[in-house]
């Protein structure tokens, strides 16, 4: 009786494993339909129902040895023989990393990693990081877990509990004795949390300025820009002001009478500052030039008018307005941290 039960369990496990693998592999649609149908009976609804979103992203890594392209971890092929050309491989250097930039923000439930068939211990102690920051190549993001080990040629799944982000990294940190990052497949299971809105952009020195087709309060606009780009825009000189005027002069969608910039006034004072941390005294284009950039105002949130002469103005922080983000290389200055009780506690700062 018990022997029959154990045998039955073993057979069911094999069937379940086969069917789940069948669903995840890129077979023909008809074959996948067959697998899904039978999995309803055999898999006990334990198969990961969320899609693997990793192939929609772009993979990079700290360095690449021949045949070890970063994209091999998201090519859909779990072949674990390195020489076959379906695995990644960095050089043997400190702090090696592999990074995946997704096209939107996802709530990530789990990550599966397929290890090489030999020297699998190289993955030991690597951190799985998830977030929205691209600073330090994405290696400053919150940690999902530290990998203890993955068997040679095996696939292990790590629960990340719905962490939110569009950057997924594998990272050998400074305290980690391993130095080569090499994996054969990374699957990221999650659901769309927030997709970027349509936008219009122009290039500036070192990056681009992006007018977003979405209307948000000042603080939500700040979070949006920090999630999908670098920050709400700072205008640091006349050249950047001219670029913004070009952008606002020819919008391809209706825009509000003013759009948000990263301008903020100290609540207890008269001094305005840029959320990017850039010096607010370098350049200004306030309506009342004699009072700028230091003046008392009714509202601590600043933007720019969308018609000539494109003055900077303050408006109620709760106004839902379009806004301009900046994307590109970071400057030496430190961003100003902003907290909001309305922000979901699941979101990384």
Residues in the interface with Ca ion (CB under 5 A) total 6
Report residue 185: phi and psi, to 5°: -160, 140
- Report how far residue 258's alpha carbon sits from residue 238's, in angstroms, rounded to the nearest whole number: 19
In the bound state with Ca ion, the residue whose beta carbon lies nearer, of 75 and 305, is 75
Q: Which residue from 69, 75, 127, 305 is in contact with Ca ion, where contact means CB under 5 A?
A: 75
Helix (H, G, I), strand (E, B) or coil at 57: coil
Residue-by-residue DSSP string for 77-121: -----GGGS-S----S-TT-EEEEEEEEEEEEEEEEEEPPSS-GG
Q: How far is the CB of 184 from Ca ion (least distance, A)?
A: 5
| Nearest residue (beta carbon) to Ca ion | 86
Q: Which residue from 42, 82, 86, 228 is in contact with Ca ion, where contact means CB under 5 A?
A: 86
Should residue 327 be labelled a site residue for Ca ion when binding is judged by CB under 5 A? no
Name which of 185, 247, 246, 182 is nearest 213 in CA terms.
247
Task: Count how many Cα atoms sit within 13 Å of the Cα of residue 240 in the half-sphere of its side chain.
Answer: 20
Should residue 117 be labelled a site residue for Ca ion when binding is judged by CB under 5 A? no
Tokens 């962490």 belong to 163
Pairing of strands 272-274, 258-265: antiparallel
Q: How far is the CB of 74 from Ca ion (least distance, A)?
A: 7
Should residue 69 be labelled a site residue for Ca ion when binding is judged by CB under 5 A? no
Interacting span for Ca ion (CB under 5 A) from 81-89, 273-281, 292-300, 339-347: 81-89
Q: Are 107 and 191 in contact (CB under 8 A)?
A: yes
Q: Which residue from 185, 227, 305, 314 is in contact with Ca ion, where contact means CB under 5 A?
A: 185
In the bound state with Ca ion, the residue whose beta carbon lies nearer, of 183 and 255, is 183
In the bound state with Ca ion, the residue whose beta carbon lies nearer, of 105 and 188, is 188
Q: How far is the CB of 30 from Ca ion (least distance, A)?
A: 24
In the bound state with Ca ion, the residue whose beta carbon lies nearer, of 86 and 193, is 86
Should residue 278 be labelled a site residue for Ca ion when binding is judged by CB under 5 A? no
Should residue 82 be labelled a site residue for Ca ion when binding is judged by CB under 5 A? no
Q: How far is the CB of 271 from Ca ion (least distance, A)?
A: 54
Q: Are 134 and 168 in contact (CB under 8 A)?
A: no
Orientation of helix 2-24 relative to helix 29-42, angle to 10°:
150
Should residue 187 be labelled a site residue for Ca ion when binding is judged by CB under 5 A? no
Name which of 206, 241, 227, 57 is nearest 214 in CA terms.
227
Residues in contact with Ca ion by CB under 5 A are 72, 75, 77, 86, 184-185
């Amino acid at each position: 009786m018990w022997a029959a039960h154990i045998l039955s369990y073993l057979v069911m496990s094999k069937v379940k494993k086969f069917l789940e693998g069948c669903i995840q592999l890129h077979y023909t649609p008809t074959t996948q339909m067959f697998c899904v149908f039978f999995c309803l009976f055999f898999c006990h609804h334990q198969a990961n129902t969320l899609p693997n979103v990793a192939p929609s992203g772009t993979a990079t890594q700290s360095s690449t040895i021949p045949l070890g392209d970063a994209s091999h971890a998201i090519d859909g092929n779990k072949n674990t023989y390195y020489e076959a050309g379906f695995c990644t491989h960095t050089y043997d250097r400190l702090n090696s990393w592999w990074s995946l930039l997704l096209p939107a923000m996802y709530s990530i439930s789990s990550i599966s990693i397929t290890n090489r068939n030999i020297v699998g211990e190289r993955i030991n102690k690597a951190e799985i990081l998830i977030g929205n920051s691209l600073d330090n190549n994405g290696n400053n993001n919150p940690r999902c877990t530290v990998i203890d080990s993955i068997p040679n040629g095996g696939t292990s799944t790590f629960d990340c509990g719905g962490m939110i982000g569009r950057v997924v990294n594998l990272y050998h940190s400074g305290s980690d004795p391993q130095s080569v990052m090499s994996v054969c497949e990374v699957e990221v299971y999650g659901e769309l949390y927030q997709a970027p809105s349509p936008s219009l952009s122009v290039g500036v020195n070192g990056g681009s300025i992006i007018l977003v087709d979405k209307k948000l309060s000042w603080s939500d606009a700040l979070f949006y820009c920090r999630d999908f780009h670098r920050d709400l825009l700072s205008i640091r000189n006349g050249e950047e002001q001219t670029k913004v005027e070009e952008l606002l002069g020819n919008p391809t969608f209706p825009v509000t009478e003013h759009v948000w910039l990263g301008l903020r006034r100290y609540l207890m004072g008269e001094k305005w500052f840029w959320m990017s941390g850039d010096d607010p005294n370098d350049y200004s284009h306030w309506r009342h030039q004699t009072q700028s950039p230091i003046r008392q105002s009714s509202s601590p949130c600043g933007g720019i008018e969308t018609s000539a002469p494109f003055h900077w103005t303050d408006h109620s922080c709760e106004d839902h307005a379009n806004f301009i983000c900046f994307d590109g290389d970071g400057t030496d200055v430190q961003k100003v941290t902003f907290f909001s009780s309305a922000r979901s506690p699941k979101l990384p700062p």
